Structure 1
Amino acid sequence: MSSFPASATLAQGSPFAPVLKINDSVITQYELDQRARFVMLLRIPGDPIEGAMKGLTQDRLAAEQAKKFGLRLTPEQINAGMTEFASRANLSAEEFVAAITQGGVDPETFRDFVANGLLWRELVRGKFGPTVTISETDIDRAIALGTRRTAMQLLLSEIVIPVEGDPEDEIALANQLRREITTESGFAAAARRYSASPSAGRGGRMEWVSTTQIPPQLVQLVLALAPGQVSQPVQLPNAVAIFQLRDVTEDLRTEAPLLNVEYAQFLMPNTEDVFADAEALGNRIDTCKDLWAEARDLPEDHLVIEKKSLEETPKDIALELAQLDVGEHSVALTRGGNRVFLMLCSREPRPEEEGAELNREAIRAQLQSQELEAQAGVWLEELRSEAIIEQP
């Protein structure tokens, strides 16, 4: 098996020339071009060509499995899926199609994107749904974790392995390191050798960080470890990471509020001088709002300021924000060949809904969805490893 071509570019040569063969089907240059444009319009982090090829590869593998199991979608299901997807942008399906058409994306590309996503979801539910059982104990444990209001302090080390294209090799390396590392010194040596994080020079050692400031999924992952143990690999945009828990403390006097974070992502050319340029930029500005003046003559997507709950914040961004105070910045991340000047604008408690009752069935559905997602990820990697994937 070979990975897809990371160097593929938008629409070169014949639009119907195949760019990748997956078993008995092919992905054409036109499909890649269209999906990449769609990915860019959605502002999905990462390289649009990489993301497009990965998504199209999953589509082909899903289509093979759907044919094997005799699974088909009705036009009503696809139309409902398109309507639901468009509603996330507060648009009707017709308004969404009109908007992407102006961006050079064919309506059929949107329809295929939605249909293939629905098809994969139905496949996963059919294959794993009957085997996923969520007990009342599982729900009680989730409620306890979700309502625990005591702040925890974690002392972690990290190894962040950059990914270009298919993460299969990087995941394999992360799993190998996890099996082999038994000491803090061993982890530090591996971090210096393999990690692309700024902490690599410190052997991957991070400062104390509160559980309120990092993604809940990661909190659950590392709290299940004993000091010295290494976590399962965590997939981040353009990277795979593993963490070693060095110590954990509990502050019984401090409540852990639910948090909203506001942050700015300012894209800078990833040149040899980018770190000096970022430092100069940091010295020129005081708040995130000051970045608007810096981005005045740049494309719109070069500056994005958004406010999200911690749970909704991408893992790699949340990990960087956890190490920042308001007004501080990081340049550890990259996006599509650019360096990200990431600035923390604010961090504040999220208002809680008074008198809200716990919906155990909703929690059960959420836990089922999480388990199915995990099973789907493993299955997809199995399908990829078994497929014959090659460039024509």
Structure 2
Amino acid sequence: MTIQRQKTSRLGAVLAALALSLAAAAPVSAQNLFDPAIKVGDSVVTNYEMEQRALMLRLLNAPGIPEEEARDQLIEDRLKLKEAARLGITIDDEALAAGKLEFAQRANLSTEDFVAALGQAGVAEQTFDDFVRSGLAWRQVVRGRFGRFVNITDQDVAMALTTAPNPESVRLLISEIFIPLRPGQEGEAQALAEQISQIQGLDGFSDAARRFSAAPSAQAGGRVNWLPVTEVPPNLRAVLLDLEPGEVSAPIAIPNALAIFQLRAIDEGPYTARAVTEYDYAIYHIAGGRTPEALQRAAELRAEIDQCDDLYTTAKGQPPQVLERQTVPVGQVPQDIAYELAKLDKNEVSTALTRGNGQTLAFLMLCDRVTEAAKNADAAQVRTQLQNEELDHYATGLLERLRNETRIVIY
């Protein structure tokens, strides 16, 4: 006996045993099998179909209560098939066979072995056929109606390669204030930073950010979008995770400034950043520090360029040190730069930092994040997955509309 047939035999034995236990627990009156259980528009779902679908779902360990899931699925199947028929979509024998094989292979079985195993447990092949046919027809309906509206860009793919669902993840929602350390004014800056660190309440911190912060986020009251905790520099991460929402950190010294942070919220929901292994980033140094002229030049440059490679044209003919471009392991990125990079998407810019004792403005641009996932991923597969997710949103809306437009009677 081959390994494949051993698998099939074991699966068949389990399903058969389960079917026998179900039959013993819940005998069904034969005369009621083909009575209507549900009417969906002009289409009838029988008790037999309900019983068969519930049994198949139980055997497949599908989530939910099998009888309730069977009812909902069969209602949706009727709606899907009616819409497919309206659009002239039918599933021929060849397409059905391919769909059955695709489903059976999820259990590492051939179609024949999968159907045989179901049959031993009392599930008719027609039940399996009906389940697969409605899914295939609906796939064609959705792709035909909404496919032209789905446009997955290279940036969408890149973003998917750097993020992934994970229930153990943590994101931080913070506000920031950067107090510049100007030569000869370090004492005043320290005193101001200490005063700000005593602020209580979100509004008070936002007001202080608008008045005193040198960061671009000052106009937004210091508010920063959600940050994956995995991308926050380790030293800063420890500070932020020690705060309760609403609390403010002590001043933290970074090059040419003092930073103060307020934790606004923490999220442990289904989101995480994949582990970033390297940052590819560029810094274009603009003379003048945070003077109005330097900031104006930064704003102009941001409008002129689309990606990091454009900076080579900008820096052409200037001293080599004007432009830095590096791909650096995460642990070797300076803390203040790493913090800014964590807030950026690919090809976005930060002008929060200065260099050379405040004499130059750091035009910092994230060229790319390198993750283990990105190194090993198939971009075409990721694109297809994103397309399917977008189509699922359209499909959900269409199905809900069809349900609302159809008279459904449950007996």
Give the TM-score normalised by structure 2: 0.44
The structure whose Rg is larger is 2
Query: If the length of structure 1 is used for normalisation, what is the TM-score?
Result: 0.46
- Between Structure 1 and Structure 2, the one with more helix by share is 2
Higher relative contact order (CA 8 A, sep 6+): 1
